[in-house]
Amino acid sequence: MGIRDLLAEVASTYDRTAGSTREVRGQQVLRGVARRIDLVLPPGFRAEGHGGQTTPAATPWIGVFEKEGMQDPKKGLYLAYIFSADLKNVTLTLQQGITWLEEPLGKGRARLEHLRHHAARLRRAVKRQENVGWVDEPDLREGGTRPRAYEAASVIAKVYDTARLPSDVALLEDLYLGVQSLRRAEEFDRVWWASGENDAFELAYALKEHGPQADVSPQDFDPLADFHPKDSGDYTAEITARQQVKQRSHERLVDDFGRYVVGRGFTPITRRQHPKDLVLRRQESERQGREWLVEAKIVRHGNPTVAVREALGQLFEYRHFLYTKETAPFLVGLFSEEVGVYASYLEEHGVASVWRSDEDWDGSPQARGWGMTPS
């Protein structure tokens, strides 16, 4: 017995129509993986089978985890043998965790785009082109949300025909290549997280994620119902055996301005708007007309140059990818302090600007004309 026999046994016994109870043979095989002592795995690794809990998995899988490393497939990087829905193939794949992205990105296209974008970055780090016979993504032949996410989350993949599985020696050689790629990807991931470039998720352009909501009667309307900025308190990030305390002044800026602008007739919206910082809509015509797209930036050390450049670039990028010409929004740069001559520069490019002014808010002529700040 070994990896080859285990994969063949799952392929021949698993039946998603039989349920997920302990009496089901295929489920017994998968749940018994963690207790098997006949599997030859790389030193320091363990295996664990997954066939679903209350609902049978459309694509059962066996995770290969480092005993002292990442233990939770919801987040992080790990190796897995994932079966196609028809059980004709099983793929050894270097996977990204998918579940933790549900809250910020949902389960749809936004998450898939993020996973594929980051997979491409990791793929360069692991030099996938050097692994002959490996591909980027498997075809799991199942249109469900989770299988599609597994496909998008794949960094590299080796696909096997379950009717003609290679020997245990060949499978183990591929598994060692997978471990080598996992090590490279983990190192790259640590550097990326430490760089600070991950403060916002990679852009996931999905028009469907940002559509209008159903009409609400005037008496039930709450202008802050969809305004849920992130926590503005400091937070601790664990990065390679050291801690960094980061200030969420960006979130505080969004929170303060969102609550302020309600009093000037706007509805602030952050829910389901990623990667946008903030969207504003007029309260009197909540579900009609154009909206205001707001990009918030912190001005560092009294120099607004970098903040203005970043705001301008992101606003144009979001407008291009997240809107059609018919729904193009008004553009607003939100800053932690006055941007000086850059206010007129932004207005030349069709972007209004708003900034903190002592305990109040001030803005460019266009922002004042919209009523966002006092005239």
Which residues are CB-neighbours of 145 under 8 A, at least 6 positions away?
A: 107, 108
Q: What's the CATH fold of domain 211-369?
A: Trna Endonuclease; Chain: A, domain 1 (3.40.1350)
What does the radius of gyration of the chain's CA atoms come to, in whole angstroms? 25
**343: closest CA among 355, 361, 329?**
355
- Provide the pLDDT for residue 67: 80
Low-confidence ranges of the chain (pLDDT < 50): 196, 198-221, 231-247, 286-287
**92: closest CA among 62, 56, 132, 51?**
62
SS3 call for 161? strand
- Provide the pLDDT for residue 100: 83
Sign of CA dihedral 45, 49, 52, 57: positive
Output phi, psi for 214, to 5 deg: -65, 155
Distance from CA of residue 83 to its chain's centroid?
Answer: 24
Question: For residues 18, 20, 22 and 28, what is the CA-based torsion angle, rounded to 10 degrees?
Answer: 80
Cα–Cα distance measured from residue 60 to residue 80, given in angstroms and rounded to the nearest whole number:
10
* Residue 242 burial class via C-beta count within 10 angstroms: exposed 0-12, middle 13-18, buried 19 and up: exposed
Sign of CA dihedral 139, 143, 147, 149: positive
Which residues are CB-neighbours of 72 under 8 A, at least 6 positions away?
A: 97
- Provide the pLDDT for residue 163: 97
Give the model confidence (pLDDT) of 142-164 as tens digits: 999 999 999 999 999 999 999 99
Q: What is the pTM of this model?
A: 0.55
The residues spanned by each domain of the chain are: 3-195, 211-369
CATH architecture of 3-195: 2-Layer Sandwich (3.30)
- Provide the pLDDT for residue 207: 37
